[in-house]
Amino acid sequence: MPGKTTRLQNSRLATNQKLVDRYVRLYDYSLTEQITMRKINLENTIAAGKRTIKEINQKLILNLIREQQPISRVEIARQTQLQRSTVTIITNRLLQQQWICEGESGRYGGGRRPKNLYLNTNRFHVLGVEVSKDETILALADLNGKLLSREYMKTKVDDSRFFVHLGEKIQRFSKQSRSRTGIKVAGVGVGLPGYIEKTTGRIIAAENFGWMDVAAGDYLRKRFDLPIYFGNTAKLGAFAEMWFAESKNGSLHNFVYVTTRDGLGTGIVLNGEIYNGARDGAAEFGHFSLFPDGERCVCGNYGCWELYASDMATVKRYVLSLNGSERPPRGSSPLTIGKVIERAHRGDKAACEALQTTAKYLGLGITNLVFGLNPERVIVGDELVHAWDIIGEIICSTVQSRVPSYYADDLKITCSSIKEMPSLLGAIALVLANLFSFATNP
Ligand SMILES: [Zn+2]
């Protein structure tokens, strides 16, 4: 019966329509919700116009000259794959702006010698500052990072007065150096202790200094009108490794830098970049518990790594072994890690043992870093570099005996090749990085 068939057909059609609707819903769902593509954040990006491409190529060439000087135009064209005419235009502009200079060094196949290009290291000077517990160092450097002059000041507990004073000192230092040399200071890099916000220079917590929520950046910015960049001192130690030590040629991409100065800090380099974490607070491994029932740390945690392996811990251990108390005898000048190392080298058994115990604790902590980060290299920096003959082997053997061979086989644990003031050099590198590249790491 036609009516019945129609009803049946209609009912089938309706069912089919429901299926289609459902399918469409599923299809829509899969497009809009199930398969959502990761959004790319373009907030801080601008389209590359003629000017930006020009700027990028200019910085690329300037940085290549800085890294490989002396270098010829032909070599620049080969390495950058830019046309020779483009290289000529850019290098002429850089010569005109006095960023580079040229000379004739090196022979060239018996024929005409190509003119080599060098960085004009006196185009600008840069200023680095390292705030550490006992003293703060200010240093002027050229564009190759060569230190030209230094000044010291006592680091004070009263944070606001100290940073106001430091700001005034930076202003005076940069003005004096400009009037003496005639060369402008391009910027200031400041190494601050503890957990810091690197864009503002706010110290969120530096417990070893007794500083909590200190607007260090604001105090400094009010005192002078120069570009200023901030970094945590341990991360700046790692940054100095990338700029001035072995890894500067890009041979090391994944390493951990460990410093025992003013507590225990680390700088993690992952794929050639300093790892900062979501809010700049990454790499505070000094506050990882080595012993859960250990002493209470200033951070609030118990048995933190830095309580056993920092320079302060080594000095305390030495003093305790000498006179049965952690306090130095009355009237004696406070001992430093430098003095303990010096005494160990002169044959002081207690000093040597204090350092060897530190080495064992360093090895324990580094074992955790190796399991967690699988670095190619662990680099120990600052003062302990001068005690590597006493501690190096103990650190390495402690790690080797605790991690499986597939971690240990290619792992190298070394001391830094930077013998003095790594964080200060890192602060200088921070300004250089902003001059020669578009990166602001760390
Ligand atoms: Zn702690």
Which pTM was predicted? Answer: 0.85
Distance from residue 298's CA to the centre of ligand 1 (Å): 6
Q: Which of 2-6, 333-337, 381-385, 407-411 has the highest average model confidence (pLDDT)? A: 381-385
> Domain coordinates of the chain in residue numbers?
50-119, 125-238+425-436, 246-417
Distance from residue 74's CA to the centre of ligand 1 (Å): 54
Distance from residue 307's CA to the centre of ligand 1 (Å): 7
Q: Which residue has the tokens 């003293």?
A: 135
Cβ 431 vs Cβ 229: under 8 Å = yes
- Specify the pLDDT at position 105: 55
* 35 vs 296: CA distance, rounded Å: 49
* 315 vs 136: CA distance, rounded Å: 21
Distance from residue 306's CA to the centre of ligand 1 (Å): 7
Task: Return the CATH number of 50-119, one of 3.40.50.700, 1.20.1440.60, 3.60.15.10, 1.10.10.10.
Answer: 1.10.10.10
Same topology, domains 125-238+425-436 and 246-417? Answer is yes
Of 192, 182, 178, 158, the closest CA to residue 225 belongs to 178
Distance from residue 340's CA to the centre of ligand 1 (Å): 24
Distance from residue 409's CA to the centre of ligand 1 (Å): 31
CB-based burial label for 385 (10 Å; 0-12, 13-18, 19+) = buried
Distance from residue 217's CA to the centre of ligand 1 (Å): 25
Task: List pLDDT tens digits, range 72-122.
Answer: 999 999 999 999 999 999 999 999 999 999 986 545 555 666 789 999 998
Report the SS3 class of residue 417: coil
Token pair of 412, please?
């190298």
- Specify the pLDDT at position 251: 75
User: Which architecture does CATH list for 125-238+425-436?
Assistant: 2-Layer Sandwich (3.30)
- Amino acid letter, 145: G
Distance from residue 295's CA to the centre of ligand 1 (Å): 10
Task: List pLDDT tens digits, range 161-183.
Answer: 999 999 999 999 999 999 999 99
Distance from residue 253's CA to the centre of ligand 1 (Å): 28
For the cut 90, the answer to whether the pLDDT of residue 339 exceeds it is yes
Beta-bridge partner residues of 196: 203
- Specify the pLDDT at position 28: 47
Instruction: Kindly report which listed range (19-28, 100-109, 201-210) carries the lowest average pLDDT score.
Output: 19-28
Distance from residue 181's CA to the centre of ligand 1 (Å): 45
Distance from residue 257's CA to the centre of ligand 1 (Å): 18
The hierarchical CATH code for the domain 246-417 is 3.30.420.40
